[in-house]
Chain A
Amino acid sequence: MTSFLNKSRPPVYCPGCTHATITTQLDKAMVALGLQAEKTVIVTDIGCSGLFDTFFNVHAVHGIHGRALTYATGLKLADPELTVIVTMGDGGLGIGAAHVLAACRRNLDITLLVLNNFNFGMTGGQFSVTTPTAAVVSSDFLNQAESPIDICAIAESAGASYVARCSGLDRDLSEQIARALSHQGFAVLETLGMCTGRYTKNNHLTPGILETLKEEMPATPGVVTKNQRPEYGTRYRELSRKSSGFFPALGIEKKIDLPGYRRQGVAILGSAGMRIVTAGDIVCHAGLAAGMNVSMKSDYDITVLRGPSVSEILISSGKIGYSGLESPTAICALSDEGVRRRSSVFAGLPPDTIVVREKTITVPETAATIIDVDFRECKIKKENWALAAVAVLAKKTNVLNGEMLRCALQSRFTGRAYQDAMALVTTILNDSRM
């Protein structure tokens, strides 16, 4: 390939615009590296740098302002053989800063060309995140109250493994671009340029001044030694090979025949950290062991290890529609805040509803039958109260029986957790006090 440039679509930049030079030099770099058009994609941002993809005969994506790196990341992860080149102006750099930082930190093999011409060219010369405080731009005084960023310093500190700054008019620009492109990892190349349509109309900027600007700014290393590490895609694929992969849903066979089972609804009222959801799971698994349909709805706050936690389980031989629990046949009252979360349900309960109450817990007035249990006396830790209460349900209610509970523990737990749960449940099933 002697040139990737699309002869029918020559650059359309203002006379003297550095973008035109960069276009030619990028092409030269691509040719020098022997890139294949069908394995190269240019992803462009918005603004004048967003026109780049139209000048080249390679794959092209032209996206939304600031988001070019997001498509580039998806493309590179999907097809690791692609050479991915992103062009972005100083505008895209500002609005898409989170993506620039993430790309630096991740180190996926993408080359980002930041075409810094110190202002928004296409929209009329407004100030950007790189506009000097003293510059005269169309944003009136606004840029005078803000300070420009040094993207190379930011990229380096964010973990980019290649960072370089140059003038877009450097004689060796194509070599500099080629070095960035051939780097294995995330490479940032900032090119300082002249926006002749807007910026240079009010700000004296020449190739010589660009050169001085570049020299006055902190030096950039190219390859950043301290940030060298495996390329993200390579590392991702290496790590993902150790991942377990697809596993089919666990099917639970019916093991117990329970003719005449009547629909049951259980509310387990406790607090976060009391394994309320796990206990609900156990009740569900017990139902499944008897070939029943089950559903479980949980209610908890956004806090972790604090606040009420409620699980509501329905077990039925028929189809379950609505998953809410209007009139439970059994309740486990295990914390005051959990009970408060469902306090309205107690008043309407009939006498054949069983409430298993840890004896320290207050429950509202109810006609339901209350069974008090003293888990403290039995030296059961609070995080096991919910499972212990389910074992009490197995003894005292029609929700489940001991056999269903044992099957549930077998399907829900393995190893040590299974042994501990089985030991606890067996103790309660055999304890004459409960």
Chain B
Amino acid sequence: MALSLMEGNEALARGAIAAGCNFFAGYPITPATTIFNSMLKMLPGTGGICIQGEDEIASIGYCIGASMAGKKALTATSGPGISLYSEQISFAVGSETPLVIADVQRLGPSTGSATKGADSDIQFLRWGSTGGVPVIVLAPRDVLDCYLLAVYAFNFAEEFRCPVFIASNKEIGLTKQSVNLEALSLPPVINRSLFSGTTYLPFAAESGESPPFLPIGGRTLVRLTSSTHGADGFITNDPEVIAQTQQRLRDKIEGASERLTLFAEDIKERSKTLVISYGVTSCAVDDAVKALERDGRAVSTLVLKTLWPVPERLLREKARPFQRIIVFEMNLGQYVREIRRVLCHKTVEFHGQMDGRLISPQTIIEVLTSD
């Protein structure tokens, strides 16, 4: 068993390549730049394309164009870049263009702290596009997860024809860890399903599903747009068609929520407390819970790796037996809103921190023992 030393950003890039990513465009930004660096080292020599856009809007636009021609595209940025991506994210949602977006989060708002971590963008990723259409957001907890979730992200993007976010964090992206990639079990790589019938309508799909794909530049002519369209890709004013498409865009993701739900759990029979966390914070939770266990206090944990769509059923099921639910987040309360919404019949405690430092196991122990 040989271990490798790498940071989360390199692992994310390697995971993307393992998933078949062959196009990257990005704009330099701390702390995401090393994803770009890694892709630039690895993609061009193998027939892939890696370019630097003139700005973030262009970078994601290049990815969207390339994806429309059949490439599997990745872009990577941080908070200020995600803000600029916003209109193109909406375009990818509306034109049903597969795309993976890595957001190596830093402390916001705005320019904030370039070299300090935070889970700043958790609600922005969900709601930072127009129309309110659901998106998929995965949250890695460590370096190995960056690799693994990159593969899942591409699989989801391809299957659901939508942008998929990887909500990383400076504290994962730029932290190096020993990883054993050989021992990792990856899901089979999924590629978008290609249309095989006779008359192709680019947006014709069963209800709750994404349409089969054909590339721009193939033998069958394709029309792609985010402007309100019918199955043929031409603009429509028909309220029935509009309603159907709106519903389908929603259903294709929310209807698959359970299949999209990735998580880890450590449920202890004797425990009365459940800690819910995600991202890098969940590592500190693990350490804290282990320390408490050594002192004879059993605490259960649930680590969410899919944040959007909200794994509502999982949350309800896992929380049911517990008297005390506590959420830890590296911000001042973003995702806890969803947990409180779902677990509306329970009291959900919250501890957040947003000062450029990780939430420490010691802090978590103090919160957990302050009852």
Residues of A within 8 A of B (CB): 9, 37-39, 41, 43, 53-54, 57-64, 67, 69-79, 81-82, 98-99, 101-102, 236, 239-247, 249-254, 281, 284-285, 287-288, 291-302, 320-324, 326
A246: which of B45, B62, B176, B179 is its contact (CB, 8 Å)? B45
Distance (whole angstroms) from the CB of B42 to the closest CB of chain A: 5
Chain B residues near A102: list those with CB within 8 A: 53-54, 58
B265 CB within 8 Å of chain A: no
Report how far A9 CA is from B49 CA in the complex, Å.
36
Say how far B8's CB is from chain A's closest CB, in angstroms: 10
Is A77 touching B217 in the complex (CB atoms < 8 A)?
Answer: no
B87 within 8 A of A: yes
B217 partner, pick from A81, A101, A254, beta carbons under 8 A:
A81
Q: How far, in angstroms, from A416 to B65 measured CA to CA in the complex?
A: 45
State which of A58, A70, A72, A249 has its C-beta within 8 Å of the C-beta of B4.
Answer: A249
Q: How far is it, in angstroms, between the C-alpha of A66 and the C-alpha of B131 when the chains are bound? A: 20
Judged by a CB distance under 8 angstroms, whether B190 is at the interface is no
B358 and A98 within 8 A (CB): no
Interchain CB contact under 8 A, A296 and B176: yes
- Shortest B83–chain A CB gap in Å is 15
Interfacial chain B residues near A61, Cβ < 8 Å: 65, 68, 95, 216, 223-225
B161 interface contact, C-beta 8 A: no
Q: Which residue of A is nearest B214, CB measured?
A: A59
Q: Which residue of B lies closest to A38 (CB)?
A: B219
Residue A74 contacts which of B66, B179, B218 (CB distance < 8 angstroms)? B66
Interface assignment of B258: CB less than 8 Å from any CB of chain A: no
Q: Which of A41, A53, A242 has the most CB of B within 10 A?
A: A41
Let me know if B41 and A75 touch, CB within 8 A. no
Flag whether B67 is at the interface (Cβ < 8 A).
yes
Among the listed A39, A58, A78, which residue makes an inter-chain contact with B23, where contact means beta carbons less than 8 Å apart?
Answer: A78
**Given A41-B217, A75-B69, A323 and B283 touching (CB < 8 A)?**
yes
Apart from A78-B217, A321-B284, what are 8 other A-B pairs with CB-CB below 8 Å? A74-B25, A245-B45, A284-B176, A294-B5, A294-B178, A296-B5, A296-B177, A297-B175
B10 — nearest CB in chain A belongs to which residue? A249
Chain B residues with CB under 8 Å of chain A are 1-6, 10, 14, 17, 23, 25, 30, 41-46, 49, 51, 53-55, 57-58, 60-71, 73, 87-88, 91, 95, 114-115, 171, 174-179, 181-182, 215-227, 233-235, 280, 283-284, 286-287, 290, 357-358, 360-362
Query: Is B6 within 8 A of A249, CB to CB?
Result: yes
**B62 in contact with A79 (CB, 8 Å):** no
Given contacts A64-B88, A72-B65, A75-B66, contact A322 B287 (CB under 8 A): yes
Bound-state CA distance A236–B23 (Å) is 13
Q: Once the chains bind, are A297 and B64 in contact (CB under 8 Å)?
A: no
Q: Can you name 15 A-B residue pairings with CB atoms under 8 Å?
A: A38-B221, A60-B221, A69-B61, A70-B64, A73-B58, A75-B65, A77-B49, A82-B216, A249-B10, A249-B14, A294-B177, A296-B175, A321-B286, A324-B284, A324-B358
The residues of B that contact A82 with a CB separation of less than 8 Å are 69, 216-217
**Interface pair A252/B5, CB less than 8 Å apart:** yes
Chain B residues, Cβ within 8 Å of A281: 5, 176
Nearest-neighbor residue (CB-CB) of B172 within chain A: A323
**Which residue of chain B has the shortest Cβ distance to A311 in the bound complex?**
B176
Q: Residue B54 contacts which of A57, A98, A236, A293 (CB distance < 8 angstroms)?
A: A98
CA distance A293 to B1 in the complex (A): 12
Across the interface, B41 reaches (CB within 8 A) one of A41, A236, A244, namely A244
A74 and B67 form a contact (CB under 8 A): yes
The answer to whether A249 and B69 touch (CB under 8 A), given A63-B225, A297-B171, is no
**Selected contact of A299 from candidates B6, B57, B66, B115, CB within 8 Å:** B115
* Chain A min CB distance to B328 (Å): 12
Which residue from chain B places its CB closest to the CB of A312 in the assembled complex? B175
In the complex, A76→B61 CA distance in Å?
12
Q: A64-B226, A294-B177 are in contact. Are A243 and B44 (CB under 8 A)?
A: yes
Is there contact, CB below 8 Å, between B218 and A71?
Answer: no
Of the candidates A63, A79, A242, A296, the one whose C-beta lies within 8 Å of that of B216 is: A79
Task: Please measure, in the bound complex, the distance between the C-alpha atom of A251 and the C-alpha atom of B179, giving whole angstroms.
Answer: 9
A139 to chain B, nearest CB (A): 23
Contacts of B171 in A (CB 8 A): 297, 323
Smallest CB gap from B364: residue in A = A322
Closest 10 CB pairs of A and B: A74-B65, A70-B61, A245-B45, A251-B2, A240-B44, A78-B69, A71-B65, A243-B45, A102-B54, A74-B66
